[in-house]
Structure 1
């Protein structure tokens, strides 16, 4: 019975199906790096699988993947998703930073609480506690742009003014007087002036 299987670099095949893995029910370690696998990834039930690496694939839907893994790999302890858009880091996307990666780790540990290692880094006790408390809220959600807002914003340049005051001929100004009185209480320079110099 096979316990370890590496299928890295098989992206030359037009059909990237993993249905043949159902014959390996005793599989404990599975390496699927660099295979152009996407959000349609479907693993068969692998009850003994404890190590899974999906590095350098095309996975963007993190929540969908984690829900699928929680269902088909209940014994999973080691997971690596480096090199996927679902794993936010500066190597994949320059717009991401360390905070994005911390939120990602927290959300993954919330969804898969039995993980001991995530992306080649050991899961700490504090990460596990934070995932228990806040992990549910660490999911990154992108707002969907509605067609109405997109069409209006493409026609008009951005302005912070309300629509009624955009015309050059219809404007209202505000004129007021401001009085500032300086008492010198908070001045740092006053502490260096001696009484005999006043």
Structure 2
């Protein structure tokens, strides 16, 4: 399969850039407030050079390039959300993967449209990998983006994450095989 070199930012991701993702930490409870997602959307993809530098640093594998990823957001610790270009079709049809700052990894949605429903349910990529889908509070503004750009019927975060895990059950092992 030929990997596309397309770096045109999808309209759905651009729409997320106009939404505030507040993040608050409750020191007394030693946890994030339940209605928060630790997510910072980008306005454009990281460059090919930045993406290659990141995947090499993350895996310790200097033979890798970033060609199979389009990084489009992060959490407050530096964990990254990226489209993983593993199937034929446009960028919007690619699964969304999360690479945490402490080694957490996971595919959190089978496509960009599914990812929008995950966010609409109040679950960001970090939360999906770390805590599952019980941590979110639905967000009307994100739901409007999902309704406009997803191209699919509404999905719960649990449905989105279950489909991602079913389609990509070996993602963590795949990533581990890249590490040196």
TM-score normalised according to structure 2 size: 0.27
Q: Which has the higher helix share?
A: 2
TM value normalised by structure 1: 0.25
Choose 1 or 2 for highest CA Rg: 1
Pick 1 or 2: higher relative contact order, CA cutoff 8 A, min separation 6. Answer: 2
